[in-house]
Each structure stands twice: as structure tokens, then as C-alpha cells.
Structure 1
């Protein structure tokens, strides 16, 4: 097993890594408390929590260009997103802190003849400027929404900025397709008009501007050569739209994982492994990260159904709850995902309360509990609320939750990619949902394609062997559970196969599916947990769903400032979460057996 130093990227020597090494219990505490001996060694971090150094470098140059001494900058991919961030700051920060708030936009210099070749990749940046004291509010928006610029986009656009190809917008340019791009729309040869689009005379961008006619194949090839020769980037524009199409179909369950990309359009989808009639490629939306998919689905719900409270059902990933609480009228929270929670919800519904949607994970993180989707969908039909299910942990290779949902979201950053070097997210609108027409109408009006082209290319390549990786990870997870499940030092093991909510999982489990690659354990004593964690010879850091086993004291990292609150929902502060990888089964079993021996050596005072 590789050894990682504190603050080293995971994977090592990876410029756009998604995880970072925190190899001891003490280093995790030090990170959460901002201790210098940890923070000063951080080369990177999880992208929604740690602003990548390439983004910071670009931000510094923007401040210098604008001449805004003493201000900080946060970068976003489009004008509309930056304005949303600015509005969030105005709504949440004290009035005295927003006096210096400003938004500037960087656009291609259309006078420069090189700019035309860059337009197909939409290299736009919008910057929100604010005082140092306002940073915590801007950071909240960045973290919760996933709207921030990706490190690859920042790196690419920073090069353009330094070369004079990206300039501050002085208003002389009218809005063009380089400033906003309609979500999931690409060159016309890759488009297939859906029934909802039929009869429209022109496709519109998120800002209401008409899409420019698609470039011909010769133009795309010329652009690809220009980008490769001028910037040395691994960005073949001719494959960006086919890559998006392949990813969407892979998520829909309608494409072989090992499909080789071609610039020729794919035929119409005829069937899918999700078993959903009428599901089309256009019903799958790609986003820059999983949390951004949840954020945009919540926006779509509010925009199409009105301002109603939501339901957060089951102990959620931290930012899902924050989105529901901070963006809109709020939510009610059921942290146990139990039948008694559903009883309480049903009594509210019978009493006349109305809700926007119920958001849940299947299984949940980190307790791996599974809500009763059958009963939830029945309540939703009876009392008119939407059901949004996050399938990141279960994965559509193991389970089918779309049959019980109006929308299914997922973080592609996790096992769909596996390589821990690119972010991505997805949302599927169930075509048989009673809200489908409204959702699609909102998406046409408001969604933007902010998923950076380089990230798309990496995600498509990484995901080709997704299905075969899941099979191996399922096997390894079961083997690790066999080691941990009945060990006398372990108080509780959380895994879908062994939880009380297993019947709910079985309803959704595919015939050839397993129980996933995530499990959590709680020791009887904290000292044993610390000894085990410090000794376990795996990568140790944030994130999950990596091709290598990744271990984390998850509750410390995710809920350090609210440990008592988490404990009130039976989420132990010393819980250790294990994301299982592709190692040889015997090898990874030995790793956990050795770590258990380290825990056994701890003397516990009686």
C-alpha cells in the first residue's frame, strides 16, 4: 500500500486530485481546528472545501487587474452564477460588509483573431469581489452549491488571461454564446430534438440569447489543432459533445461501458437498464459536481412548483441539508429515516401541510440506512410532493431507485469516475413523473452548461469500466465486512446488507447487483478507533468511491462543529468510514486484519 504524507494529494502527484492525505486521527483534528502544522502542508483538498491553488493564483491576478486592493475574489464559470453568489452574500451578510461587493466578467477579446478558435470551449469567467470580512459568506455559497469554477477551467482561462485573450468585459460586447451556454446543448450534429423541444423555432441560452449555428467539422478540427498547438492542452474539442453524450447514456443505462468515442452521433436510445419507459438522453443533465446537481434540482423544484418547504429524510451529507435550509423557505428534517419518521410525516400531510419535495440518499451517508422508497412514493402520489433520491453510494449498477423517484441525482466524482481526479454530477428527470413537463421547461429557461470541457473528457474516459469496477468493489466490501462484523472490539458495523433497513434495499436491488463499496464502523472505545485508524494501511482522506480503498474519521471531518447534534441522530463522533477499492481481495483483507491487531493492543482502563 502507498504511504501518503500529511497534505499530499490523493492520488499523489495529481494536479487536480479530489482528495488529500490526512493520515492520522490527530491530523484530522488539526485540519478541522486550522492548526498550522496541518494547514501549512496542504497542497490541495476536497474542491468544494479547499480552493485550489490554480484558482487562487487566477483570483490574485484578477484583483491586480481590477485594481481592487484589499479585496478578495471568488471565481465562477458564468455571469448568472456569479450574480447568484453576489445575491446570496447580500441576503446573508451584514449590510456593512457588502459595500465593496462587485461582480466583473472576463470574456474573449473578439478583436484578437485567435479568439474565434476558442469560442467552442466557452472559456468565460465571472468574478465576485468582496472584502476580507465577507469571505465566510462567499465560501458558504461556494461550498454548498458547487457552483465554483473548476481547477482545470481556472488553469486554462488563467493562461488566456495572461496572454491577453481573456479581458474584462466593458460592455462593448453583446451577450454571445461564449458568455452562456445552454445545459447539455452542443453542436447541432449531436442534438436530437426531444418532444418537448418540438415546434420551437430556435434554441435559447440561459440568458435568452439565440444559440449560434453549429460549426462545421472542419471548424472543430481547426479549433482542436489550435488548442493543442497553442496551449498544449489535452482538449480535443471534436470529442467534447460525443463525450457528454456517452456519459449521459452510460448514466441512463443505455451504453456499453467500454464504448469508444466517435464524432458520429449515436442512434436514438431504444432501451435502458433502469427499466424506465420513455427515458431519453436529454433527460440526463450533467453538472460540475454532485452537490451542484442537488442545488440545481432544488432550484428547478422551487421554480416550477413554488416556494414550499422541503423534507430532508435520513441523516444526509452535510451540504444537502444546508441547501434546503438556506436557499428557499427551509425544510423539516427527519434524521433517522425510520418508519416512525414516516408516520409523523404522514400525520403532517393529513393535517394539510404542503411540501415541495422529499430529498433522501439511498443508502445514506455514513450510516448506510435505506429509507422506505415504496411508502415514500405512495405518500408523494397521494399528497403531491416530489421525490429526489441521491444514488451516489448505491450506484445504478447495484440498485434502481428511479422507479420510485421524480429526480435521481448522483456525484459522478465518486465511483462513476473512480480515479479521484475530476469532479462531476448528474440529475435524471423521470419522464413518467407528473412534474416532468414543468421540470424540463425550467431547465430550458434557467440551466446553464457550466461543466468544463476538459473535465468532461476526463470523466468520460474514467467511467468506461465503471460496471466491472463495481463488481470487484462489491466483492471486496463483503470480504472486509466478514473481517469486521463480529470482531469483539467493534460495537457497530453499518452496511446495507446487515442494517435493519435491508428490506428497503432489497426492493431496489438489481438481480445482479451487490451492496456497494461503503461501510462504517464504531468501536467500543475511542482509543481503539484511533489506534485502528492510525494503523490501517490505506489512503486516508476525504471523498469516497475511489478505485483504491480510502478510510476516514468521517464524522470528525464532516461535523466537527456539530458533533453533539450528529450524535443525537445516532451518528457517533468516532465513526470510521471505509470506501472500498479495487485491491486484491486477500491483500485488502490483510490490511484490515493488521489494523485490528493494532486496536487490540490498546489497553482500556476499567
Structure 2
């Protein structure tokens, strides 16, 4: 097993890695507390929480050219997204912070010699600048919505910016005050693990000729573009790659083959693992990350159905609940995936309350419990609300939830990609759903395809063997569960096969499917959990669904400021979440047995 140093990217030596190493329990606490011995060594971080170095560098150069002293910039791909960010911040920030906001919209300068391939990309960047006081609110929008630029887009566009090939779009820059007031803001959004770690990566200064407005070295830019396209991006294959990804998500036949420029026959969609014969490729929408898919599904439903509260059913991934609470009229939260919670929800419906949609995960994270989708579907049909199911953990290779849902969302960043080096998300509109026509109308006017072409190409390549990886991961996860369940140190193992909601999982499980690659374990004593985590010889950091086993004290990372709240729903502070990879089964079992031995020895010491 590889050894990862503190703060090292996971995978190592990967410029756009999605995870990073927190090898000890103490380092996870240090990260949450913003301690420099951890933060200062981070090469990267999980996107949406840590703003990638390439994005930081580009943002710093935009501020240097267009901003005021002390301001910071958040980068978005389009003007429409930036406008939503402005509205969000202005509704929540103090007046002085709201007054500091400005936007800078950069587009390709077509008056200068540019390759045809670059013209077809039409790269755009819209920066929202604000004072230190506005920063926490800007960060909230960035984190919750997932609508910020990807690190590959930022890297690519930054090179164009430095060579003078991006110009300011007329009429999009607004003045900012000269002296914004600094303010740390809420603790959760003041970590120096994003834009405020610029000391570790100073932005390269523009050369004098560029700074003075002289023309760029066009030949140098051409070489950059040629190398970039030659290595990563054949522009002619971007649309076929998107088509291949959408068909894989739909479970269509032969969707794992390499894309070609010729469009595949439409009849291939008639047979798919979703069991919906009228599902079309254009019912699958791609997004730059999974949280963006959830955010825009919520937007689509608000537009289709009006301003109603939503329901978050089951203990959620943190930002899903934040989206429902902060964007729109709010949400009702049921924190346990139980029949009693469904009973309580049904009583509200019977009393006349009406809701926009019920959002749930299948299974949930991190307790791996599954809601009763059959009963939820019946309630939705009777009381007129939409059902949105996040299938990221279950994966459509193991379960089929589309017949129960109006929208199925997923984070492609996870097991669909597996390589932990690119972000992506998807949403499927069920063509048989009650709101399908209204959702499609919304999509025709409001959906923006902001998935950066380089990210598309990486996702397409990574996902070709998605289906073939699942069986190995399922088998490894079950083997690890057996090891943990047999240990006297272990209080609980959470896994769909063993949970009390197993029948709900089985109702959606495909004939050839398994129980997934994610599980969680709780030890009888916290010190045993710490010893186990420190000793386990796997990659250790945030994210899940990687082709290698990845271990995380998930509750510390996701709910550090609200541990008591999480515990009230049965989510223990010392829970350890394990995302199982493709290692040889015997070897990964040995790794877990060795870590259990270390935990037992630590437990014996504490009793002496």
C-alpha cells in the first residue's frame, strides 16, 4: 500500500487531484481548526471546500488588474451564474460587504489571431470580486452550488489571460469602494484552506510588455494550445464524449465503447439498465460536479412547480440540506431513514401541507440506510410532490431507482470516474414523471452546459470501465465488512447488506448488482477508532468511490462544528467511513486485520 505524506495530493503527483492526505486523526482535527501545520502543507484539497491553486492564481491576477486592495475574487464560467451569486450574497451580507461586490466578465478576444479550436471552445470567465467582509458569503455560494470554475478551466483560461487573449466584455464591470472593511465571518467559511492561502502559491507577475498592453506572443500561445489539445483534448470529440457519458449514465448498450464522431443509433437507448424504454439521451444532463446537479435540479423544480418548501429525508450530505434551506422558501428535515419519519411526514401531508419535492440519498451517507422508495413514490403521486434521488453511493450498476424518481442525480466524481482526478455530475429527468414536460421547458431556456471540455474528456476515459469495476469493489467491501463485524472492538458496521433497511435496498437492487463500495464502522471506544485510523495502511482523505481504498473520519470532516447535532441522529463523532477500492481481496483484508490489531493493542494499553 502507498504511503502518503500529510497534505499530499491523492493520487500523488496529480495536478487536478480531488483528494488529499490526512494520515492521522490529529491531522483531521488540525485541518478543521485551520492549524498551519496542516493547512500549510496542503498541495490541494477537495474542490468546493479548497479552492485549487490554479484558480487562486488566476483570481489573484484578476484582482490585481481589476479589483481594489484587499478584495478577493471567485471565478464562475458564465454571467448568469455570477448574477445568481451576486443575488445570494446581497440578500445575506451586511450592506458594506454587498456594496463592495463587482463583476468582471472576460471573453475571448476574437480580434487577435486565434486557432479555430480555441474559437470553438469560446472560453469565458466571470469573476465576482468582493471585500474580506463579503468573502464568507461568496464562499458559501461557491461551496453549496458547485457552480465555480473547474481547476482545468481556470488553468487554461489563465494562460489566455496572461497572453492577452481574453478581453473585458463591455458593460460588465462595476465600481467597488476604495476601503472595504475586513471581517472573518462565520467560522465554517473562514478557513485559510482556500483563497486565503495565497502565501503558499504567489501569483506569477505579468511581464512588463503584457502589463503595458503590448500584444501577446501569439506563437507561444499557439504552442501552448497545440500541446494542450494534442495531450488532452481533441475538440472534435468533445460532443461524442458527452454523448458517451450520458449513455453510460442511462445504462445503454455498448455505452462503454470509445466515442467516435458518428452519432450512435438512437434505438440503443431502448434497452438500458434503467428499465425505462422511452428514456432518451437528452434526458440526461451533465454538470461540473454532483452538487451542481442537485442545485440545478432544485432550481428546475422551483421554476416548474412554484415556491414551496422541500423535504430532506434521511441524514444528508451536508450541502444538499444547505441548498434546500438557503435557496428558496426552506426545507423540512427528517434525519432518520425510518418508517416512523415517513409516518410523521404522511401526517403533515394529510393535514394539508404541500411540498415542492422530497430529496433523499440511496443509500445515505454515512449510515448507508435506504429510504422506502416505493412508499415515497405512492405518497408523491397522492399528494403531488416531486422525488429527487441521489444514487451516488448505490450506483446504477447495483440499483435502479429511476422508476421511483422524477429526477435522479449523481456525483460522477466518485465511482463513475474512480480515478479521483476530475469532477462531474449528472441529473436524469424521468420521461414518465408528472413534471417531465415542465422540467424540459425549464431546461430549454435555463440549463447551461458549463462542463469544461478537458474535464469531459477525462471523465469519458475514466468511466469506460465503470461497470467492470463494480463487481470487484462490491466483493472487497463485503469481505471487509466480515472482518470488521467479527471483531470484538467494533460496535456497529453500517452497510446496506446488514442495515435494518436492507429490504428497501433489495427492492431496487438489480439482479446482478451488489451492495456497493462504501461502509462505515463505529468502535466501542473512541481511542480504538483513533488507533485504527492512524494504523490503517490505505490512502486517507476526503471523497469516496476511488479505485483505491480511501479511509476517512467522515463526521469530523463534514460536521466538525455540529458533532452533537449529528450524534442526535445516530451519527457518531468517531465514525470511520471506508470507500473500498480495487485491491486484491486477500491483501486488503490483511490491511484491515493489521489495523484492528493495532486498535486492540491501544485498547489494552488504555486499560492498564
Residue in 1 aligned with 2:314? Answer: 314
Residue in 2 aligned with 1:526? Answer: 526
Partner Cα separation in structure 1 for residue 171 and residue 558 of structure 2: 42
Partner Cα separation in structure 1 for residue 448 and residue 526 of structure 2: 46
Residue in 2 aligned with 1:452? Answer: 452
Q: What is the TM-score when the length of structure 1 is the normalising length?
A: 0.90
Partner Cα separation in structure 2 for residue 231 and residue 67 of structure 1: 32
Could you tell me how far 1:70 is from its partner in structure 2?
A: 1.9
Q: CA 1:524 to 1:236, structure 2 compared with 1: closer, same or farther past 3 Å?
A: same
**Partners of 2:253 and 2:271 within 8 A in 1:** no
Could you tell me how far 1:507 is from its partner in structure 2?
A: 0.1
Partner Cα separation in structure 2 for residue 120 and residue 583 of structure 1: 41
The one-character-per-residue Cα deviations of 1:260-287 (angstroms, maximum 9, x if unpaired) are 2211111113321110121000000000
Partner Cα separation in structure 1 for residue 351 and residue 397 of structure 2: 39
The one-character-per-residue Cα deviations of 1:511-557 (angstroms, maximum 9, x if unpaired) are 00000000000000000000000000000000000000000000000
The runs of 5 or more residues in structure 2 that have no matched partner are: 173-220
Residue in 1 aligned with 2:426? Answer: 426
Residue in 2 aligned with 1:270? Answer: 270
Partner Cα separation in structure 2 for residue 521 and residue 372 of structure 1: 23
The one-character-per-residue Cα deviations of 1:374-408 (angstroms, maximum 9, x if unpaired) are 00000000000000000000000000000110000
Q: How does 1:169-184 map to 2 (within 5 A)?
A: 169-171=169-171
1:487 aligns with 2:487: yes
Partner Cα separation in structure 2 for residue 69 and residue 510 of structure 1: 57
Residue in 1 aligned with 2:394? Answer: 394
Could you tell me how far 1:119 is from its partner in structure 2?
A: 2.5
Residue in 2 aligned with 1:511? Answer: 511
**Partners of 1:246 and 1:255 within 8 A in 2:** no
Residue in 2 aligned with 1:60? Answer: 60
Partner Cα separation in structure 1 for residue 343 and residue 256 of structure 2: 45
Residue in 1 aligned with 2:2? Answer: 2
Residue in 2 aligned with 1:439? Answer: 439
4+ residue segments displaced more than 6 Å: 223-226
1:235 aligns with 2:233: yes
Could you tell me how far 1:605 is from its partner in structure 2?
A: 3.8
**Partners of 2:24 and 2:534 within 8 A in 1:** yes
The one-character-per-residue Cα deviations of 1:59-97 (angstroms, maximum 9, x if unpaired) are 011111214222110000111001111111101111121
Counterpart secondary structure, 1:520:
strand
1:47 aligns with 2:77: no
Could you tell me how far 1:230 is from its partner in structure 2?
A: 7.5
Could you tell me how far 1:487 is from its partner in structure 2?
A: 1.1
After TM superposition, the structure 1 stretch with the greater mean CA deviation from structure 2, 224-233 or 455-464, is: 224-233
**Partners of 1:254 and 1:273 within 8 A in 2:** yes
Residue in 2 aligned with 1:217? Answer: none
Q: How does 1:333-482 map to 2 (within 5 A)?
A: 333-482=333-482
Residue in 2 aligned with 1:254? Answer: 252
**Partners of 1:310 and 1:357 within 8 A in 2:** yes
After TM superposition, the structure 1 stretch with the greater mean CA deviation from structure 2, 558-567 or 482-491, is: 482-491
Counterpart secondary structure, 2:270:
coil
Counterpart secondary structure, 1:251:
helix
Q: CA 1:224 to 1:584, structure 2 compared with 1: closer, same or farther past 3 Å?
A: farther
Over the residues paired in the alignment, what is the CA RMSD in angstroms? 1.6
Partner Cα separation in structure 2 for residue 67 and residue 319 of structure 1: 30
Partner Cα separation in structure 1 for residue 413 and residue 224 of structure 2: 29
Could you tell me how far 1:495 is from its partner in structure 2?
A: 0.2
Q: How does 1:110-121 map to 2 (within 5 A)?
A: 110-114=110-114, 116-121=116-121
Q: What is the TM-score when the length of structure 2 is the normalising length?
A: 0.90
Partner Cα separation in structure 2 for residue 282 and residue 327 of structure 1: 26
Counterpart secondary structure, 2:332:
strand
Partner Cα separation in structure 1 for residue 450 and residue 273 of structure 2: 28
**Partners of 1:9 and 1:21 within 8 A in 2:** yes
Partner Cα separation in structure 2 for residue 594 and residue 299 of structure 1: 48
Partner Cα separation in structure 1 for residue 388 and residue 270 of structure 2: 25
Could you tell me how far 1:352 is from its partner in structure 2?
A: 0.3
